Structure 1
Amino acid sequence: MTSGQDWALGRYFAFAERGTSARTEVLAGFTTFLTMAYIVLVNPAILGQAGMPVASVAAATCFAAAFASILMGLVANTPLALAPGMGLNAYFSFTVVQQMGVPWPVALGCVLISGVAFLFLTLTGVRQLIVSVIPNTLFAAVAGGIGLFIGFIGLKNAGIVVGSPATIVALGNLKAPGAALALFGLALIGTLSVWNVRAAMLIGIVATTLVGWALGQVSFHPEPYSLSALTGTAFRLDLAGVFGLSGRHGLGLVEILFVFLFVDLFDNIGTLVAVTKRAGLMDASGRIPGLNRILMTDAVATIVGAMAGTSTVTSYVESAAGVQAGGRTGLTAVVTGLLFLATMFVAPYAQLVPLAATAPALIVVGGLMLLPLREIDWEDPMAAIPAFLTVAMIPLTFSIANGLAFGITAHAGLKLARGRAVKADWFLFVLTGLFVVRFVWMAAG
């Protein structure tokens, strides 16, 4: 890189103002990529269970992450990388497609519409109204509940936890090949993590897959690869189904749109606060500079991701690893995006990775997502009861929507019972009323 190019980059990304350099930003971008590259293998494994072509989802995952991260770096100048979100991909696959019976093209249509709605809410300022009525404790509870949800899916995919007619769930046969392989992967990822190896999850998934190949648990049939693999999911979304024209899904689509929108909103706010605080980018009043540009970028990324063929794209807390490595500007995100773009050329081989190899990553990611629960005052019933209901109902009902509904409804009800409701809470009670109608509708069905 010439001095002139370095100067131009420095001016565009404000290196001097943020105390960084091109070399530091590039290294930070590599660090962020290594910590979140596991999504290239995990996302196809999850969405593949919804009937989507694994190779196509892998290519779509890389494309969406590349587009979103590069756009974030160039538009918002923030060291924040994006990719299809954990939790929302599980909700897409296990709840929307498998439980509700919504075809995956219709579900992709829901993702696109939720992205458009997110963009509209950001442009009109309604987003601030929504955020203002949700207490921080519920933000933390949603994150924790999704963590348990993801971890449970990982344990289930590994065969470590199985269904039981007597006790609902039970311990699986740990001697079974899949469970034993997953336990090996979990031990390896755990060991690498405690030694602070940045690419612990990616290394663990690849190593576990190799062990599975060596033991004959994986069939390896390499085929010539073309970027045309992306066409298996690209532009396959069904907007007619979203608007009820398919005549099968009814009001359930309203719930799906609500969850995609709100979880993406919560996930983004929590990630933004964590990453920008660690990077020292917050101003003196605790505000995030360029917040609207960041959220608009996220909304556009979700729209593009849906058209490419993947679930909701969102900000990744793993971006904090790049910040820890010195990343302070959007160049970090741009480098991460370019690396995801390069990964597209090998992404379809993700179909060779068994569930037993990705399950340990789900378990570890789920565990790490419990961290925000420490922000809840568990001795205060006003905070603890709604938080507990949120955390418990998400994994136990296999539904993020149920967790949100119980948590927000409990929060509003306890405010009324304690006499703390004020006029400014009007939107909170509108949301609660919608949730009550939802519960009545579900009971009537």
Structure 2
Amino acid sequence: MTSDSAPDAGGDTGWLARQFKLAERGTTARTETLAGATTFLTMAYIILVNPVILGQAGMPVAAVAAATCLAAAIGSILMGLFANVPIALAPGMGINAYFTFTVVLQMGVPWPVALACVFLSGVAFLVLTLTGARQLIIAVMPPSLLAAVAGGIGLFLGFIGLKEAGLVVANPATFVALGDLTAPGPALALLGLAIIAVLSAWKVRAAILIGIVATSIVAALTGQVSASTQPYSLTAIADTAFKLDFAGVFGLSGQQGLGLIEILFVFLFVDLFDNVGTLVAVTKRAKLMDAAGNIPGLNRILTVDAVAAMAGAVAGTSTVTSYVESAAGVQAGGRTGLTALVTGLLFLAAMLVAPYAGLVPLAAAAPALIVVGALMLAPLAEVDWDDALTAIPAFLTVILIPLTFSIANGLAFGLVAHALLKLGRGQASAKDWFLFTLGALFVARFVWMSAA
């Protein structure tokens, strides 16, 4: 153990040491504070990217930026105080794209109704956590399919980033084609992508944030920024806070009605499994797992995640979830909830400059989507591509999520394929009843959509 991570008997004997069990976990308040700042810098790009994505759903950009900061602050602070783990939360990448491009723009659901769906999915998550039913859902999903969903969402983000940057455009003959790289937007996006890629290669913690800011400055200098802002106006959040339309959720019928059930399921599913995957990765790196591979205080962690999702919806943003970037803070020495608390407080302070998010053009935010999408492909290494039972469902999931602009479609194809291959291979048993029930429901969904 290095001297930097060793308990400081002289300085860490007060409330912080007792509350976060600093000595027990072999850390200090100084180390935890630095780790919290590291986590914040690593994930602060969400303050700029999330408003750009949700803004395309018709939501006020400044309000979304403030809501993003507030939701991340609430979730991270609660995670630190209630669960005492070094995991920070913020609106999730991928699920925010689903919110905008699938739910609002493709399905035509107004954003206040979509926010209500996010809140209800948080309630469902909380119920599943408190009743222990989440274990049934997790158990039915093979690890390879979970990895495929993560990879598919990564491609989804990358595809959206390429599209918004103008690097990929529609083509009547081939569906997609390469855009005009000499046009201002694509050229600016390529510059941002190069900056982020080089900084990431040098392992700079705030690579994405620095890339977005640098590209935005270049955009401003070249006349590509026209947005106006109201600096330091904390009242901006009023444009999205408490705008949830529950009447719209229960008042829609027909195709939209079934669609809303699907929306709730996807919001819940992505939050649940993204959270579990993050927990495993971060707690394992922080050496917080017990000898049996279990995560101590799992119920508390998932409860906070559910509450954070509901709080985020009330504030005016898409689903809030645990961030894998928390691993950066763990790498810097974070071992307790004090790391998450510091990250949350920094997000709270960031609300003062949140309105500046309106100065970030699409071409500056798009490279962040591409890079984050690339990083989300890492779980695909866990798929056994030599075994058709795992490879085919995984491939269908990965390829159909971006090509149909729907997480639900990719998940449905993957799960149905997994169920059919398991049945055809003679490996089905009575304990797989829930798997086949979900598969049957997805098949019924496709039949209904075809007939509608």
Q: Give the TM-score taking structure 2 as reference length.
A: 0.97
Q: CA deviation at 1:216?
A: 1.0
Counterpart pick for 1:317 among 312, 319, 324: 324
Q: CA deviation at 1:7?
A: 2.3
Q: CA deviation at 1:421?
A: 0.4
Q: CA deviation at 1:223?
A: 3.0
SS at the partner of 2:299? helix
User: Are the equivalent residues in 2 in contact too, given 1:114–1:257 (CA < 8 A)?
Assistant: yes
User: Are the equivalent residues in 1 in contact too, given 2:227–2:358 (CA < 8 A)?
Assistant: no
User: Are the equivalent residues in 2 in contact too, given 1:213–1:220 (CA < 8 A)?
Assistant: no
User: Are the equivalent residues in 1 in contact too, given 2:129–2:303 (CA < 8 A)?
Assistant: yes
Q: CA deviation at 1:248?
A: 7.5
User: Are the equivalent residues in 2 in contact too, given 1:240–1:246 (CA < 8 A)?
Assistant: no
SS at the partner of 1:18? coil
Counterpart pick for 2:281 among 263, 274, 297: 274
Does 188-197 or 238-247 show the bigger shift?
238-247
Q: CA deviation at 1:303?
A: 0.4
Residues in 1 aligned to 2:364 and 2:358: alpha-carbon distance in whole angstroms: 11
| AA aligned opposite 2:238 | T
Partner of 2:133: 126
Show CA shifts across 1:122-157 (max 9, x none): 111110000011000011000000000000000001
Partner of 1:398: 405
Partner of 1:58: 65
Partner of 1:49: 56
Partner of 1:297: 304
Counterpart pick for 1:162 among 169, 185, 209: 169
Q: CA deviation at 1:364?
A: 0.2
Counterpart pick for 2:448 among 423, 426, 441: 441
2:93 paired with 1:86: yes
185 and 345 in structure 1: CA distance in 2 versus 1, 3 angstrom threshold: same
SS at the partner of 2:23? helix
User: Are the equivalent residues in 2 in contact too, given 1:385–1:410 (CA < 8 A)?
Assistant: yes
Q: CA deviation at 1:251?
A: 0.9
Q: CA deviation at 1:6?
A: 4.7
Q: Identity over the aligned pairs, expressed in percent?
A: 75
245 and 396 in structure 1: CA distance in 2 versus 1, 3 angstrom threshold: closer
Residues in 1 aligned to 2:158 and 2:180: alpha-carbon distance in whole angstroms: 18
Q: CA deviation at 1:349?
A: 1.1
Does 220-229 or 23-32 show the bigger shift?
220-229
Counterpart pick for 1:234 among 205, 219, 241: 241
Residues in 2 aligned to 1:383 and 1:156: alpha-carbon distance in whole angstroms: 30
SS at the partner of 2:203? coil
Partner of 2:23: 16
| AA aligned opposite 1:51 | G
Partner of 2:143: 136
User: Are the equivalent residues in 1 in contact too, given 2:39–2:343 (CA < 8 A)?
Assistant: yes
Partner of 2:290: 283
Q: CA deviation at 1:348?
A: 1.1
2:117 paired with 1:75: no
Partner of 1:386: 393
Partner of 1:425: 432
Q: CA deviation at 1:222?
A: 4.5
2:293 paired with 1:255: no
2:120 paired with 1:113: yes
| AA aligned opposite 2:372 | V
Does 198-207 or 2-11 show the bigger shift?
2-11
Q: CA RMSD in A?
A: 1.4
Residues in 2 aligned to 1:116 and 1:373: alpha-carbon distance in whole angstroms: 30
| AA aligned opposite 1:214 | L
| AA aligned opposite 2:42 | T
Partner of 2:5: none
Q: Give the TM-score taking structure 1 as reference length.
A: 0.98
Residues in 2 aligned to 1:417 and 1:105: alpha-carbon distance in whole angstroms: 44
SS at the partner of 1:173? coil
Counterpart pick for 1:362 among 341, 345, 369: 369
SS at the partner of 2:24? helix
SS at the partner of 2:109? coil
How many residue pairs get aligned? The number is 445
Partner of 1:201: 208
2:57 paired with 1:40: no
2:382 paired with 1:375: yes
2:93 paired with 1:102: no
Q: CA deviation at 1:16?
A: 1.2
User: Are the equivalent residues in 1 in contact too, given 2:89–2:321 (CA < 8 A)?
Assistant: yes
Residues in 1 aligned to 2:320 and 2:281: alpha-carbon distance in whole angstroms: 18
335 and 203 in structure 1: CA distance in 2 versus 1, 3 angstrom threshold: same
User: Are the equivalent residues in 2 in contact too, given 1:6–1:22 (CA < 8 A)?
Assistant: no
Partner of 1:149: 156
Q: CA deviation at 1:244?
A: 2.7
Residues in 2 aligned to 1:408 and 1:123: alpha-carbon distance in whole angstroms: 26
| AA aligned opposite 2:289 | M
Residues in 2 aligned to 1:225 and 1:77: alpha-carbon distance in whole angstroms: 32
443 and 194 in structure 1: CA distance in 2 versus 1, 3 angstrom threshold: same
Residues in 2 aligned to 1:181 and 1:353: alpha-carbon distance in whole angstroms: 12
Show CA shifts across 1:65-114 (max 9, x none): 00000000000000000000000000000000000000000000000000
| AA aligned opposite 2:301 | I
| AA aligned opposite 1:171 | L
SS at the partner of 1:16? coil
User: Are the equivalent residues in 1 in contact too, given 2:85–2:340 (CA < 8 A)?
Assistant: yes
Q: CA deviation at 1:273?
A: 0.5
User: Are the equivalent residues in 1 in contact too, given 2:231–2:355 (CA < 8 A)?
Assistant: no
| AA aligned opposite 1:309 | G
Alignment of 1:340-351 (within 5 A): 340-351=347-358
User: Are the equivalent residues in 1 in contact too, given 2:230–2:355 (CA < 8 A)?
Assistant: no
21 and 224 in structure 1: CA distance in 2 versus 1, 3 angstrom threshold: closer
Residues in 2 aligned to 1:419 and 1:413: alpha-carbon distance in whole angstroms: 10
| AA aligned opposite 1:11 | R
Which blocks of at least 5 consecutive residues in structure 1 are unaligned? none
Which blocks of at least 5 consecutive residues in structure 2 are unaligned? 1-7
